[in-house]
Amino acid sequence: MKYIIYLFYRYYNKGATIRIPYESAIFAVLLLLFINVMSLMILLVPNLMETLFANHTRTELYVYSAIGVLLGYFMLTKLVSKDEIYQIENTSINVKLHTWLLFLYFIASFILLMAIIIQKL
């Protein structure tokens, strides 16, 4: 997990996000986890989308999502601190290859989630 956060950290440590690369990396990992968990849940529980969204208003869903993101953010920041990311920075090899593989995994996960959702509709 630390190395994945480090790869995202390196990606976000330039350009417009140079001031907040650690936070951006944490949110990117949360998004990746969300995509993978949703894919698994939709495959394992076929009526998940209907049960999740049927009895809640849009405002409630926003509040639940915000609480989930905040909990995930605080858990990941407690598990992997900024200092641990800086230590990985000095000892890593093949970072470019791993970054490309992570990017391809991210795209493949997103495409898989969209295919599953379209199939279930």
pLDDT at 54 over 90: no
pTM: 0.86
Structure tokens at 95: 């970072």
C-alpha to C-alpha distances, 108 to 5, 25, 36, nearest whole angstrom: 18, 19, 10
Residue 92 is predicted with a pLDDT of 64
Q: How far is CA 59 from CA 20, 50, 56, 65, in A?
A: 28, 17, 8, 10
- CB-count exposure of residue 4 (10 Å: 0-12, 13-18, 19+): middle
pLDDT at 83 over 70: yes
121 pLDDT higher than 90: no
Average pLDDT over residues 108-115: 94
Task: Fill in the amino acid letter for 63.
Answer: V
